[in-house]
Amino acid sequence: MQIKASLEIRRLSLSEHRKILQNLDLFWLSKTEFIRPYHHALFSLLFADSSFALYKDSELVSYLYGACNRTKAFIHIIATRPQYYKNGYASILLRHFENTIKEKNINRIWTYIVPENSRSKIFFEKNGFIMRKEILISTDEKRILFRKTHER
């Protein structure tokens, strides 16, 4: 899908996934090795219709790993290269994801963040997500669960 002359959204194919993995340090900086296990190749195979990469002038600048079933959608990861923060690229991908799931008559999106990630908390709240609760996913790992509901 062509957005502007210099922006393009592509479905997350296996080759797009490989580009993300090759450039992971450009997105996550010092957290690259922590986040690497969350980038499983199955996302590009199983959820290609709801996961996307955004390119600006042929450069990968943002990506979203999403998944959905008949009634709900989930954003696993949304990331933008730090030098492109505050340009709206993550919001463009989010809107594209929302439009994709609306076409499937899905009206609920869930996501979670680590409690320390204040930038993500601000991003999701700014984009209409409501914090639901804090959940314990293991003995020492917490996540904050967010949900957004669209009118059908």
Query: What domains are there in the chain, each with its CATH number?
Result: 2-107 (3.40.630.30)
Which DSSP letter does residue 117 get?
-
- Tell me 6's DSSP state: T
| pLDDT tier at 38, thresholds 50, 70, 90 | confident
Identity of the amino acid at 12: L
A 10 A CB-CB count for 143 gives 17
Name the phi and psi angles at 49, rounded to 5. Answer: -80, -5
Query: Are the CB atoms for 89 and 61 separated by under 8 Å?
Result: yes
Which band of pLDDT confidence, cut at 50, 70 and 90, is reported for residue 86? very high
Strands of the chain (E only): list them. 2-4, 7-11, 52-56, 59-68, 72-80, 108-113, 130-136, 142-149
User: Which candidate, 80, 94, 93, places its Cα nearest to that of 28?
Assistant: 80
Question: Which one has a higher pLDDT value, 3 or 12?
Answer: 12
Contact of 109 with 127, CB cutoff 8 Å = no
Please report how many Cα atoms fall inside a 13 Å half-sphere around the Cα of residue 64, on the Cβ side.
26
What would the pLDDT profile of 97-152 be if each residue is shown by its tens digit? 999 999 999 989 999 998 888 899 999 999 999 999 888 887 778 888 999 997 65
d(CA 35, CA 63): 14
24 in Cβ contact with 77 (< 8 Å) = no
Q: According to the model, what pLDDT value does residue 109 have?
A: 96
Q: What pTM does this model have? A: 0.88
What is the identity of the amino acid at 20? Answer: I
| Predicted confidence (pLDDT) per residue in 58-83, tens digit | 899 999 999 998 889 999 999 999 99
